[in-house]
């Protein structure tokens, strides 16, 4: 093979067939536009200004200020399991005031779409795939316009995003271990459903499927061990606060809430999101990836189940399905390239 032809063949990658090179122009443009989109979506939240009012969602900043000597509330109430965001806020000095802590939380929220763009550029073969992945997610995931500022949700979602794009077991396990420290209850659901999707993944070999799925569960388990060590170190008085919170109210309480607005419950994630999710599932059914499609359906069902058992509506649904939706989107966009002819 002539040297010139060899160099051309080895230089193929994302951006091939596109006038923008991802490494030179196209990639930075996509990341920048993703940041702008994130800003626009965040400021569409009608409650955005409210989050900066005095004492609004202030328990996490107070938790951050006392993270190394937690008070009785942190050691007994359900939000005491979410130690990572307060810990980072303390170490980085963001918890000196409510405003600085909320700015810190906004920064994490605004990193979601640029991180998705960056990981898409690193993962997909063609530039248009990265653009498509960012566009689909930004235009369908309604929660991006309703992110609560001051909660650990954006940090948990960011770690789920890294896990869903991880190509090495150690990266996957590490991301989910940290997610367990960020919000253990949501991390348990998100990690379990991601592991299920990985086990039947159409873009992994049989060996990789099992390796990645088990790594996801091991990462969750390691994160829970670290959380338990934290509990012992600082004499926490609970380990399953959110489970107790549910059973204290009882199933009938949540059933009554559901019956008050049945249609609103099922359409809470957004019609466009539901249609997009259904289309991707049908795509894999068409491709005869039946177990993967069933796993995606179960992931959706579990997220609805979590939303049923909570009072926060879309927030709980969005974070628990975040990893699963990202991985489904990654598998879908990756599979599209197989039908794309290579340039010669």
Encode pLDDT of 126-163 as tens digits.
999 999 999 999 999 999 999 999 999 999 999 999 99
Cβ neighbourhood burial of 68 (10 Å; 0-12, 13-18, 19+): exposed
Cβ neighbourhood burial of 56 (10 Å; 0-12, 13-18, 19+): middle
Mean pLDDT score, 157-180: 98
The span from the CA of 46 to the CA of 49, in Å, is: 8
Least confident of 20-34, 293-307, 322-336: 20-34
**Residues facing 149 on adjacent strands:** 151
Q: In whole angstroms, how large is the CA radius of gyration of the chain?
A: 21
**pLDDT tier at 242 (50, 70, 90 boundaries)?**
low
The span from the CA of 323 to the CA of 19, in Å, is: 32
pTM: 0.90
**pLDDT tier at 18 (50, 70, 90 boundaries)?**
very low
Most confident of 68-72, 154-158, 252-256, 340-344: 154-158
The span from the CA of 70 to the CA of 81, in Å, is: 12
Which residue, 202, 152, 207, is CA-closest to 180?
Answer: 152
Token pair of 136, please?
């689909």
The span from the CA of 280 to the CA of 331, in Å, is: 9
Count each helix (H run) and each strand (E run) in the chain, helices first: 18, 0
**Residues facing 151 on adjacent strands:** 149
Q: φ and ψ at 231, to 5 degrees? A: -60, -45
The span from the CA of 320 to the CA of 268, in Å, is: 14
Burial 82-109 (b: 16+ CB within 10 A, else e): bbbbbbbbbeeebbeebeebbebbbebb
pLDDT in tens, 189-238: 999 999 999 999 999 999 999 999 999 999 999 999 999 999 999 988 76
CA distances from 153 to 21, 33, 147 (A): 34, 23, 8
Burial 144-183 (b: 16+ CB within 10 A, else e): bbbbbbbbbbbbbbbbbbbbbbbeebeebbbbbbbbbbbb
Helix, strand, coil % in the chain, rounded to nearest 5: 75, 0, 25
CB 321 within 8 A of CB 303: yes
pLDDT in tens, 37-92: 999 999 999 889 899 888 788 889 999 999 999 888 788 877 888 999 999 999 99
Q: How far is CA 129 from the centre of its chain?
A: 19
Q: Which residues contact 304 (CB under 8 A, 6 or more apart)?
A: 266, 317
Which residue, 181, 224, 180, 175, is CA-closest to 198?
Answer: 175
> In 69-111, which ranges are continuous DSSP H helix?
72-76, 84-91, 98-110
Beta-carbon neighbour count of residue 203 at 10 Å? Answer: 17
pLDDT at residue 131 in the model? 96
Mean pLDDT score, 232-261: 75
**Helix or strand or coil: residue 149?**
strand
CB 117 within 8 A of CB 37: no
| Model confidence at 341: pLDDT above 80 | no
Domain boundaries, the chain: 152-339
């Amino acid at each position: 093979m002539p040297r010139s032809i060899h160099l051309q063949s080895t230089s193929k990658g994302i951006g091939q067939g596109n006038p923008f090179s991802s490494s030179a122009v196209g990639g930075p443009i996509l990341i920048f536009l993703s940041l702008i989109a994130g800003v626009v979506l965040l400021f569409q939240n009608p409650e955005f200004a409210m989050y900066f009012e005095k004492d609004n969602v202030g328990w996490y900043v107070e938790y951050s200020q006392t993270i190394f000597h937690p008070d009785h509330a942190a050691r007994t109430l359900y939000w005491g399991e979410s130690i990572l965001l307060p810990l980072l806020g303390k170490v980085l000095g963001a918890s000196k005031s409510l405003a600085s802590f909320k700015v810190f939380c906004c920064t994490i929220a605004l990193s979601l779409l640029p991180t998705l763009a960056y990981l898409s550029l690193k993962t997909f073969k063609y530039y248009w795939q990265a653009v498509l992945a960012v566009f689909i997610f930004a235009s369908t995931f309604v929660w991006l316009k309703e992110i609560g500022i001051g909660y650990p949700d954006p940090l948990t979602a960011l770690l789920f995003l890294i896990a869903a794009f991880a190509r090495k077991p150690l990266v996957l396990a590490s991301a989910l271990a940290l997610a367990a420290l960020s919000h253990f209850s949501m991390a348990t659901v998100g990690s379990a459903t991601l592991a299920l999707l990985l086990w039947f993944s159409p873009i992994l070999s049989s060996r990789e499927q099992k390796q990645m799925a088990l790594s996801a569960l091991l990462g969750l388990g390691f994160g829970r061990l670290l959380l338990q060590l934290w509990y012992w170190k600082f004499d926490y008085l609970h380990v399953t606060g959110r489970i107790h919170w549910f059973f204290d109210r009882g199933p009938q309480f949540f059933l009554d809430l559901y019956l008050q607005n049945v249609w609103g419950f099922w359409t809470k994630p957004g019609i466009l999101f539901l249609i997009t999710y259904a289309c991707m599932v049908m795509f894999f059914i068409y491709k005869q990836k039946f177990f993967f499609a069933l796993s995606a359906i179960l992931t959706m069902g579990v997220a609805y189940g979590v939303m049923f058992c909570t009072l926060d509506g879309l927030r709980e649904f969005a974070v628990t399905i975040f990893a699963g939706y990202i991985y489904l989107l990654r598998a879908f966009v990756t599979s599209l390239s197989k039908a794309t002819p290579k340039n010669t």
